[in-house]
Chain A
Amino acid sequence: MSTTALPTADAVLQPAGRRSDRNGGSTAMRTLRYVLLIFFLLVVLLPAYVLFVTSFKGLGDATPSRAWSLPESWETAGWGRAWEVLSPALLRTFSMVIPASIISAMLGSMNGFVLAKWRFPGADVVFTLLLFGMFIPYQAVMIPLVQLMQNLGVPNGVPSLIVLHVVYGIPITTLIFRNYYASVPTDLIEAARVDGAGMLRTYSSIVLPISAPAFVVVLIWQFTSAWNDYLFALFFSNSRNGPVTISLNFLASGQLQNYSASMAGALIASLPTLLVYIILGRWFVGGLMAGSVKG
């Protein structure tokens, strides 16, 4: 398998035109296939239905017998309560996720360039050692990490989380950029070298201008994973200075099960990443591919 070139969904997932004639067997088989596809579609969407419907139910409407019915009357109290709890956290999450994604994308781009196109002895070993950091369970570093961050004087909450997402994002961002740059023709780089351009010149005038697709993929990836992170948030923040996952779990795990507020909260907390997915879906899938299909 060759290295993923341009990381968009269409590049990897779209059927080739000539394949359309291979529509696989009889009409019965085709019908069966669609029946299955639609069945699974409904299964996948089932939780979304529950989230949506329950979020609009009033407190009295939550009896088990009406669990799967539409609301008796569409109430927005749950949404109001959820917004009250989550809105400060949403703002904090944005202020954490945006700088974290941008910084780690820049680091990843420089590393990827060096490891793909301006290599040094042992570059492959270095790359493999970096990659290992992507897979470790963070539980294996968490206790000294808490102490290290205290010693460095990084305050809990947003600042800590920015540092952590940048540092632990290095392996994946490096991987995506490295795979992307591997598809850039080496002649282009060599030509610049022959013309006497140094490494930084080559990087800034040749490589960086064609990096936009990889930047989009990496930014989406980092945005999503930092937004959805709970583990670091739990160790390095609380519901007063932490991101939205902390506030959502706080809202949802209260003693009084306010299902409409919890479900509205889950929708609110997921909206930014869902929007990114809907609008930039093909790049999102590209990130998934670039992060795994390699070598």
Chain B
Amino acid sequence: MVNRGWRSWGPPVLLILPSLILIGVFVYGLIGVNFNTSLTDQHHRIGGDVAYVGFDNYRTLFQDDTFVYSLKNLLKYTGAFLVGTLVMGFLWAWLLEKGVKGEGFFRAVYLFPMAVSFIASGVVWRWLLNNAEGDRAGGLNRLFDQVGLGFLQNQWWTDPNWGVVAIALPAVWQLSGYVMALFLAGFRGIPDELREAARVDGASEWQLYRHVIFPQLSPVALSAIVIVGHMSLKVFDLIMAIAGQTNYTTQVPAIQMWVEFTRGDYARSAAIGTILLVIVAFLIIPYLVYTYRQERLTR
């Protein structure tokens, strides 16, 4: 299909060129400029005389307890978010997979939070995750008390060790339906013959899952991990809506990047942005290379 010569590949290149230029400038170009800024001492808004300081900004960031704390927070949040959505998404898909009455309705309800912004859901989750306990308790703490599960009352996102995990709760609420849809598509992509063959061979239900269904679902699980994972690493809106930018227990790099920006410390802000990019790249680049290779194989 690929013919030699300008006549054949000139027109398609011209058609896609505007997009390539835009992405070239707005993605790759700006990543470069941002990295460049992160190597300078531009700790103020107006350019003026700016000098290169090498990796000093990165060094001070990694020596800063708050930044290290925010990285740990990000790790905990991502762990909770990933495990939560994968478990819930798989469970829902598994419950629906065998065909139940009203499947479409269940699916639609499980998936609806996906259509809502993190800012809007943050409004209600801030109310639900109210940290008051006992008589003054509101939100989920009050509900736990009323249904006899008072021991579940806790400090939610104000806890310095695990507060950020409480933020994962609304995130799981919002994204589990999406993971369910992925797994459901995965389940339905498994040919019935495979299951039948395993049954004929006398496989137990567990063996069927272990050797037939899980392997068939692994590409879907990989997609889910990458998509939820990269969303998780970029968490920003939800924390802004629930805890705000100044709350210590829910600090993550994206919030700190914004705070440094509002202070006018562009160099430090740019360095945080670059660190975030590197973290996300560890997840994304292997995935992109993998899908690229798959494409080549199937072509």
What is the interface of chain A, defined by CB distance below 8 A to chain B?
1-2, 9, 12-16, 18-20, 22-24, 33-34, 36-37, 40-41, 44-47, 50-51, 54, 64-65, 67-68, 107, 110-111, 113-115, 118-121, 123-126, 128-133, 135-145, 148, 167-168, 170-171, 174, 186, 198-200, 224, 227-231, 234-235, 245, 248-249, 252-253, 259, 262-263, 265-267, 269-270, 273-274, 276-278, 281, 284-285, 288-289, 292-295
Given A15-B103, A288-B182, 9 extra CB contacts under 8 A:
A46-B128, A110-B15, A110-B16, A136-B277, A144-B34, A249-B240, A267-B120, A273-B116, A285-B111
B101-124 vs A: 1/0 string, CB under 8 Å? 001001111111111111111111
Q: How far is the CA of A47 from the CA of B15 in the complex (A)?
A: 46
B13, A37: Cβ atoms closer than 8 Å:
no
Question: What separation, in Å, do the CA atoms of A120 and B241 have in the docked complex?
Answer: 46
Assess the B269–A47 pair: CB atoms within 8 A: no
Q: Which residues of A contact B295 (CB under 8 A)?
A: 124, 295
Say whether chain A's binding surface is mostly helix, strand, loop, or mixed. helix
Look across to chain B and name the residue whose beta carbon is closest to the beta carbon of A4.
B185
A270 to B115, CA, bound (A): 8
Enumerate 18 A-B pairs (CB-CB under 8 Å) in ascending A order.
A15-B97, A65-B142, A67-B142, A120-B2, A133-B26, A137-B276, A137-B280, A143-B269, A170-B23, A230-B119, A230-B241, A252-B241, A262-B123, A266-B124, A269-B119, A270-B116, A277-B115, A295-B298
Query: Whole-angstrom distance between the alpha carbons of A77 and B116 in the complex?
Result: 23
In the complex, B50 has a CB within 8 A of chain A: no
Q: How far is the CA of A252 from the CA of B127 in the complex (A)?
A: 11
B227 on the A face (CB < 8 A): yes
- A141 interface neighbour in B107, B173, B273, Cβ under 8 Å: B273
One of B60-68, B78-86, B129-137 at the interface: B129-137
Asked if A130 contacts B23 (CB within 8 A), the reply is yes
A263 to B148 alpha-carbon distance, docked (Å): 27
A36 in contact with B11 (CB, 8 Å): no
| Chain B window 130-173, contacts with chain A (Cβ cutoff 8 Å), 1 for yes, 0 for no | 00100111110011001000000000000000000000001001
Contact B99 A277 (CB under 8 A): no
Q: Complex Cα distance A67/B144, Å?
A: 12
Residue of B110, B253, B276, B289 touching A44 (CB-CB under 8 A): B110
With A64-B137, A136-B277, A288-B114 known as contacts, the answer to whether A119 contacts B120 (CB < 8 A) is no
A144 lies within 8 A of B272 (CB): no
Shortest Cβ gap from B23 to chain A (Å) = 5
Q: Report if A20-B99 is in contact (Cβ < 8 Å); known contacts: A140-B31, A227-B117.
A: yes
Q: Give the complex CA separation of A54 and B142 in angstroms.
A: 15
Interface of chain B residues 222 through 273 with chain A (CB within 8 A): 223-224, 227, 230, 233-234, 236-237, 240-241, 244, 253-254, 257-258, 261, 266, 269-270, 272-273
Taken together as a complex, chains A and B put the C-alpha atoms of A278 and B136 apart, in Å, by 37
- B53 lies within 8 A of chain A by Cβ: no
Chain B, residues 174-196, CB within 8 Å of chain A (1/0): the string is 00011001101100110010000
Interface flag for B33 (CB, 8 Å): yes
In-complex Cβ contact of B127 among A50, A128, A269, A294 (8 A): A50
* B51 contacts chain A at the CB level, 8 A cutoff: no
A285–B273 Cα gap in the complex (Å)? 31
Q: Are A200 and B116 in contact (CB under 8 A)?
A: no
Q: Which residues of A contact B182 (CB under 8 A)?
A: 288-289, 292-293
> Is B202 an interface residue when CB atoms closer than 8 A count as contact?
no
Inter-chain CA distance A113–B234, complex, in Å, is 31
| Interface: B48 (CB within 8 A) | no
- Nearest CB of B to A240, in Å: 17
Which residues of chain A are within 8 angstroms of B285 by Cβ–Cβ distance?
132
Give complex CA distance A2, B90 in Å: 21
Q: B111's closest neighbor in chain A, by CB?
A: A285
- Name the one of A200, A273, A293 contacting B185, with C-beta atoms under 8 angstroms: A293
Q: What residues of chain B lie closer than 8 Å to A68, measured between beta carbons?
A: 142-143, 146
Residues of chain B lying within 8 A (CB to CB) of residue A124: 292, 295-296
Complex Cα spacing A146 to B116, Å: 27
**Which among B28, B95, B173, B273 is the interface contact of A37 at CB below 8 angstroms?**
B95
